[in-house]
Structure formats: C-alpha cells, structure tokens
Amino acid sequence: MKKSKIPDDLINRLWKYFASVKLTVTLLIILALSCIIGTVIPQNESPAAYFFRYGEFFYRAFSALDIFDMYHSWWFQFMVFLLAANIVVCSIDRLSSTWKVIFKKSPSFDIAKLKNSYKEEFTAVHTHGELKTLFMPVLLRLFKYARVEDKENGFVIYAEKGRWTRLGVYAVHLSVVLLLIGGLIGSYFGFDGSVIIPEGKSIKSIILRNTGSDQPLDFEIRCDDFNVTFYESGMPKEYRSGLTILENGKPVLKKDVIVNDPLHYKGINIFQSSYGMLEPEEISLSFTDRKTGSVYRTKTSVGKEIELPETFGKFVLDKYSRAYSFMGHDLGEAFSGMLTPIKGEPVQVILPLKYPGFDKMRKDELIISAEDTQRQYYTGLQITRDPGVPIVYSGFIMMIIGCFIAFFMSHIRFCVEVVKKRGKSIVVIAGISNKNKIGMEAKTKKLAKLLSNKL
Amino acid sequence: MNSSILLSITTFIYGFAAFLYIFSLVFKKPFFGSLGTWTLLAGISGNSGGLLLRWLESYRLGIGHAPLSNLYESLIFFSLVIVVVYLVVEKIYDNRSIGAFATPLAFLAMAYASLSPNISEKIQPLLPALKSNWLIVHVITCFIGYAAFAIAFGLGIMFLLKQKDSKPGISFLKLFPDLYMIDELSHQMIMFGFLFLSGGIITGAIWANSAWGRYWGWDPKETWSLITWFIYATLLHARFMRGWRGKRLAYLSIIGFLAVLFTYFGVNLLSGLHSYGQ
C-alpha cells in the first residue's frame, strides 16, 4: 500500500499540471509562434534550394530541427499532443463540478450573489396568494424551472433556465479533440496521390505524394476525353475530364470531373488537378529546298534515320522537349535533330512546333520544319482517401454550435422576492447569469415590467 | 453610373462620416455625430449599391460571379461589414464615440482599394479553382469575423486612451463609454469575431476538401488564420479562466488584429494557394 503512494502523488501532480490554463495559454502561444516559422521558411522544398538560400550552417541546423517539414516534425506534433492532453484533462477536471450543477433535481440558488446583483423593485396591493398565482404562470412560461419557497414575511420564487448551456465550452473542446482524431485517422488510414491518364487510357494504381510509391486501386479509372477552355484573355476557364470507373473491365460509373466538382467512388475522391499534352509519337516533317522550292514530306519518330533526296544527306530526330529554351526564350514544345549532309559537318536543328519557320534562321539551303499534328491530352488527377473526414466535419459542426452556446447563451437565474411591509407587498427582482453580466440588467428590467404589468 | 464611380463616391462619403464622428467627439458636438450616422447610412447604400452594380456588370461581361473574388472586391466588402457591424453597436449601446475609431478603418480600407497601384479594379473572370459556392460563404464569414476584430481593435485603443487619462485631462475622453463598458463591448466583439473566424476557417477547409481533397494543407494563409485563431483563443482563455480584464486584454486584442491584418495582406508576400487574393 505504501508503495502506491508516490505514484499517486505523481499522477496527481501531473493531472494538476495538465489541468492548468497556464499550460493552455503557454501552448497556444508557442504553437502560434512556431507556426510563424513555417510560413516564413517555405516548406518541403528540395535540399539544394535550402542549401543555396540559407548556407551550410543554417541548412544543417534547420534540417536537424525538421524545420523544412515543420508541421510534421516530432516536436510540433508533440506540442499538438500536449494541447490535446491539456484540453482533455481540463475538461474532465471541470466537467465533474459542472455536471453537478446541470443535473441537479432542484437547482440551488446562490442567495449572496443574487443579493449583490442588479435589482428592480415595485409594490403591489395584492395578497401573497394572488401574487403567486399571477407570477408563477409567467415564470413557468419563460423559464424551464421555477419553484416557490414560503418565508416568514412573504415568499420567494426561484426561476432559472439555460443550465445546459454550461456544456457549450465542453462541446468546443471536444470539437478540437475530434479534429485532431480525424486528422490522425486520415494520416494513418488515408492516402493522397496523383496520376496522369492519357485520353482513352485507363489506370489501376496511383503514385503517392509523400513517398512516391505505388498505391493500387480496387478499380480502374479511364479518361474518355479531356477538354480545356479559355477566356478571351487567355486565362483558363475550365478543365474537364470525362471519366469512367471500371470494375473488372466493365464500366460502372461515368462522370465529368471539373475543378471543385470531384468524383467520389468507394470512399476514394478523384479531383481534377492538372493536364497536358502527350509527347507526339509520330511527327510530319517537311524539307524545303531554298533554291528550287521543292518540298519533300515524310513522317518520322524520334531515333529513326531518314535518307534525304539529292545531296542533302541524312536526318535524325534525337529529342523532344516540352519547353525548349532558346537563348533565354521559351519556344514551347520542340524537337531537336541532327542533319548530316553528304558533304560537310553535321548540324543541330531545332524544330519548335509553334514556329514552323524557325529553321529559316539557319540560312541553310535546306529548311526543315515540323508540323504539329492532332495530339492527345492527358489529364492529371489527384486521388485521395480520407476516412477521417466525417469525424473532422462533425468536429466543425460541433465547434460552431459549441462556440455559439459558450459565447452567447447563458445560465440565467432569477429570484422574485415578495415581502410584506406596512400592508403592501414589495416585489424585488434580482437575476444573475454566468455570462454577459451587462445584458442581465436589461433582462431584469424586462422581467420586472412583465410581472408588474400582470397586476 | 458604373460601380467604380459609385464606390469612389462611397469612399469620400466614408471619409466625411469619419471626419464628422471625430469632429463631434473632439469638439463635443453631438449634432455632428448624428449627422455622421446619417452620412454612414448613405455610405452603406453606396457601398452595397456599388457591389451589386459590380455583380451585374460582371454578368454583362459574360463572366458573372459574386463580387468577392479578389483583393479589391474583398476590401470593398470588408468596409461594408465594418460599417454595418459598427452601426449595430451604435444602435444597441447608443454611443457614437466608437464611430470615431471604426469609421476611419472602413474609410482606409476603401481608400486603399481605390488608390493602391497594386490593386486591380478590373472585373476579372474566375479561375477554375474559385468557381464554387463555397467562395461566397467563405469570404462572407471571414470578413464578418475580420470586421468584428477591427472594431474590437478600435475599442482596445479607446480603452488604452481612456485608461491612461485617469485625472480629468482630455475632456473628449469623457464621451467614451466607461472603461468597464468598453472592456465588455470589446469582449463581445471578440467572441463574435472568434465565432466567425472559426466559421471562415471551417468553410475554407470544407471548400479545400471539395476542390483538392485536402481540408488542411498548411498553406501560409491557412496557417496565419490559425495563428490568429490561437491568439484570440489565448485571449478568451485569459479572460474566462484567469480573469484578465482591461489593459492586458486591450493589448492582446491589438496584437490579434495585427495578426488579422497579416493574414489578410501580409500573406500575399508569401506564396501559396491564396495568391489570387493579390
């Protein structure tokens, strides 16, 4: 028995520590300050970028403290955990006394407090019995609870309502805990990834954002078509992917997905996130003889060698780039190739798809140009699963309702005291509330008016 | 009449109203205060008329959307909410001295929107990411919260001014509500603001989840709104649980509003999903 005393004491001290508002305030301030760091130092960039920006010393120091992925660092999550523990312990600690106040059959009224509060007074000529029958219906209509206590020289009616509103603050605290639990569930049982699907193709697995590994899906997603529309100013107006869900090769669901209107299937959410054009597999090339004007056309693909007529030699496409940079200018999509004349050195040729006349600049006898052919789009989808969302959303609802109750509704208690004095009855009305004390004055006046009007 | 002319006129009306409130306070002429109220009412009609007109104009341009899509429009809306919330407070508490602190904020927001070279007045089409009904709900809840915090900020300054002046010094401070009242009123504003800030963060989270599948992504604006939330949560706990009153809370309320301002403007200096707010 003796042994357990020390741990008991320790537990008590720990409990008291976690039940303190000082801890809450400290944690809130530290969390606020450390969040600032995360907004000033960009998160999750490449090590090289950080090294370049901060130099070796700070790069090492910051990465030792996980500052580059701060919100997932052990110390940040530990503080969030402490806050959660603080909220839970605080709430349990205080709930027991609140519980006693709320679930009492006959509520107690703090006479001393009521005596000290704002009062309204008027006189009546009625008997006490008459006053009781006049007042009680009014109070019972306005309040959830009212009782009469007879005194030596008169009587007192106690009335109250809104006892349950004392639970509002616990709802807010519980909502924060729900948000954290929901977030935890999401990070353990959910995933967040992306996938690129060319028009007409389908996929069965996606690439996870954090790890870059494959995540297989229980079904297939096919992209039937993709469309992008623009405003006159060139700003994108809408990205639309026609998607079909396939189970065992059979289509089960069809939907057009646009930004802000995702597809939900079997707990998995599919969002429009990016798009692009596929690298052309085959390309039409034209070779123009500057002198004679004769044109030779052919189709080719990267790596295939073409024999050119006359003495022009051989041509081979060696590379495709999505955004070719020429002397600092972005030429957009372009092929590069090598022209090897029969006589002379090989030359590199750039063939931007947007500028078919680009090769004229080479001032050679032969002008080569690539023609943009009808090509396929691909759609970039973000695919997530988060089983924590319903819990997070219930936390959201609870937080709003809880804040409203905690801030703007209160437990109101009134006492209406009737005392006989020189043949008249003096009625004194006093009220207290656990919040918004200024508002109580107006409420007391209103009740006094209502009761005196009954006379 | 187009919306930008109407809104420019409104800016001047707010400026004039702010002048009337200050004049009435400093020279203790209640008449100018009630003139201020009427001027402010005219400003509200111009402000909301301007926003509605802009809404119509966007439809005429064929890109119809609610006028809540960029920094210019949000500032205009912010002014409107500040003025509406202030007038409600003026009506309930029957004190016009607060107007000398609240209306200049509305005027400054309008003037900043119209005059800053970095803010485009042009009605622009919506990016695909902004095409959602959550845009309207999100912006409205956020700005109601911001406006309440702005008024609490004004009250905080009033408290500090009045509190410093304990002896019968500057006479216009007598027109302020008494210290207890300022403190209580600012507390009401902060609770109101906190409710709407929470609502703003929540609607933003729900929107993000429906657009990107992630309700929270530590984007700088999100994070700063959370920092603001932490600051006001600290303030509320200090008051509810530790009985903090008066001066210390006035300072916290001022710090909180600075965080609001940074969430609103400063974050544009950092990159993130809300960069279209520029």
Report if residue A136 sits inside a domain.
yes
Q: Which residues in chain B have their CB less than 8 angstroms from residue A71's CB?
A: 218
Q: Give the model's pLDDT for residue B277.
A: 42
Q: Give the model's pLDDT for residue A179.
A: 95
Which residues 173-202 of chain B have a CB within 8 Å of chain A?
A: 181, 184, 188, 191-192, 194-195, 198-199, 202
Of the candidates A302, A276, A282, which has an alpha carbon nearest to the alpha carbon of residue A198? A276
Matching residue, tokens 């309502």: A161
Q: Are residues A90 and A117 in the same domain?
A: no
DSSP string over A336-380: EEEEE-SSS--EEEEEESS-TTGGGGG--SEEEEEEPPP--EEEE
Q: Which residues in chain B have their CB less than 8 angstroms from residue A233's CB?
A: 124-125
How far is Cα A180 from Cα A184, in angstroms, rounded to an integer? 6
- Residue B275 touches partner A, C-beta closer than 8 Å: no
Tokens linked to B223:
């994070």
Q: Is the pLDDT of residue B278 over 50?
A: no
* pLDDT classification of A324: cutoffs 50, 70, 90: confident
- B243 by Cβ neighbours in 10 Å (0-12 / 13-18 / 19+) ranks as exposed
Q: Are residues A218 and A265 in the same domain?
A: yes
Q: Which residues in chain B have their CB less than 8 angstroms from residue A31's CB?
A: 230
**Closest Cα in chain A to B129:** A259
Q: Which residues in chain B have their CB less than 8 angstroms from residue A39's CB?
A: 220, 223-224, 267, 270
**Closest Cα in chain B to A236:** B127
Q: Is the pLDDT of residue A330 over 90?
A: no
Can you tell me the mean pLDDT for A155-165?
90
- Residue B29 touches partner A, C-beta closer than 8 Å: no
Which of A67, A96, A125 delimits the end of a domain?
Answer: A96
How far is Cα A109 from Cα B40, in angstroms, rounded to an integer? 46
Q: Are residues A287 and A272 in the same domain?
A: no
Q: Are residues A25 and A50 in the same domain?
A: yes
**Closest Cα in chain A to B218:** A71
Report if residue A323 sits inside a domain.
yes
Average pLDDT, chain A: 86
* pLDDT classification of B132: cutoffs 50, 70, 90: confident
Asked if A262's CB is within 8 angstroms of B213's CB, the reply is yes
Q: What are the beta bridge partners of residue A347?
A: A339
What percentage of chain A reaches a pLDDT higher than 70?
A: 98
How far is Cα B116 from Cα B104, in angstroms, rounded to an integer? 17
Identify which of A28, A407, A438 has the shortest CB distance to residue B230. Answer: A28
Identify which of B212, B214, B234 has the shortest CB distance to residue A28. Answer: B234
Q: Give the model's pLDDT for residue B166.
A: 61
Q: Which residues in chain B have their CB less than 8 angstroms from residue A403's CB?
A: 191, 194-195, 198
Q: Give the model's pLDDT for residue B167.
A: 62
Q: Is the pLDDT of residue B213 over 50?
A: yes
Q: Are residues A15 and A87 in the same domain?
A: yes
Identify which of A25, A35, A238 has the shortest CB distance to residue B234. Answer: A25
Q: Are residues A288 and A341 in the same domain?
A: yes
Of the candidates B40, B3, B2, which has an alpha carbon nearest to the alpha carbon of residue B22? B40
Identify which of B63, B210, B227 has the shortest CB distance to residue A260. Answer: B210
Can you tell me the mean pLDDT for A60-77?
88
A7 or A38, greater pLDDT = A38
**Model confidence pLDDT, tens digit, residues A80-123:** 999 999 999 999 988 888 888 888 777 777 777 777 888 898 88
Report if residue A225 sits inside a domain.
yes
Q: Are residues A288 and A274 in the same domain?
A: no
Of the candidates B91, B207, B93, which has an alpha carbon nearest to the alpha carbon of residue B141? B207
Q: Is the pLDDT of residue A374 over 70?
A: no
Can you tell me the mean pLDDT for A238-259?
91
Which residues 426-445 of chain A have a CB within 8 Å of chain B?
A: 436-438
What is the pTM assigned to this prediction?
Answer: 0.85
How close is the nearest chain A Cα to the Cα of B10, in Å?
30
Matching residue, tokens 């996870």: A208
How close is the nearest chain A Cα to the Cα of B74, in Å?
21
How far is Cα A100 from Cα A166, in angstroms, rounded to an integer? 11
Write the CATH number for A144.
3.30.310.80
Q: Is the pLDDT of residue A54 over 70?
A: yes
Identify which of A259, A393, A438 has the shortest CB distance to residue B129. Answer: A259
DSSP string over A376-414: -EEEEEEEEE-TTHHHHHHHHHHHHHHHHHHHH---EEE
**Model confidence pLDDT, tens digit, residues A266-289:** 989 999 988 887 777 778 888 888
Sorted by where each begins, the domain ranges of chain B are 1-126, 127-278
Q: Which residues in chain B have their CB less than 8 angstroms from residue A436's CB?
A: 188
- Residue B230 touches partner A, C-beta closer than 8 Å: yes
**Model confidence pLDDT, tens digit, residues B186-210:** 999 999 999 999 999 999 999 999 8
**Model confidence pLDDT, tens digit, residues A394-431:** 999 999 999 999 999 998 989 898 888 888 888 999 99
Distances (CA, A) of B104 to A69, B72, B80, B171, B228: 41, 18, 12, 21, 23
Q: Is the pLDDT of residue A437 over 80?
A: no
Report if residue A351 sits inside a domain.
yes
**Model confidence pLDDT, tens digit, residues B144-173:** 999 999 999 999 999 998 888 766 566 777
Report if residue A85 sits inside a domain.
yes
Can you tell me the mean pLDDT for B203-223?
90
Asked if A233's CB is within 8 angstroms of B234's CB, the reply is no
* pLDDT classification of A439: cutoffs 50, 70, 90: confident
Torsion of CA B102, B107, B112, B114, to 10 degrees: 150
Q: Is the pLDDT of residue A451 over 60?
A: yes
How far is Cα A66 from Cα A45, in angstroms, rounded to an integer? 12
Q: Are residues A45 and A88 in the same domain?
A: yes
Q: Is the pLDDT of residue A194 over 60?
A: yes
Q: Which residues in chain A have their CB less than 8 angstroms from residue B195's CB?
A: 400, 403-404, 407
Tokens linked to A276:
């692009």
- Which ipTM did the prediction report? 0.91
Q: Are residues A9 and A88 in the same domain?
A: yes
- Domain count of chain A? 4
Q: Are residues A262 and A287 in the same domain?
A: no
**Model confidence pLDDT, tens digit, residues B58-89:** 888 888 888 988 889 999 999 999 999 999 99
Report if residue A401 sits inside a domain.
no
How far is Cα B261 from Cα B265, in angstroms, rounded to an integer? 6
Q: Give the model's pLDDT for residue B271.
A: 56
Asked if B129's CB is within 8 angstroms of A400's CB, the reply is no
Q: Give the model's pLDDT for residue A291.
A: 80
Instruction: Give residue A19's domain range.
Output: 2-96
Can you tell me the mean pLDDT for A126-134?
85
Q: Give the model's pLDDT for residue A373.
A: 67
Q: Are residues A14 and A90 in the same domain?
A: yes
Q: For residues B90-112, b (16+ Cβ closer than 10 Å) or e, as one string?
A: beebebbbbbbbbbbbbbbbbbb
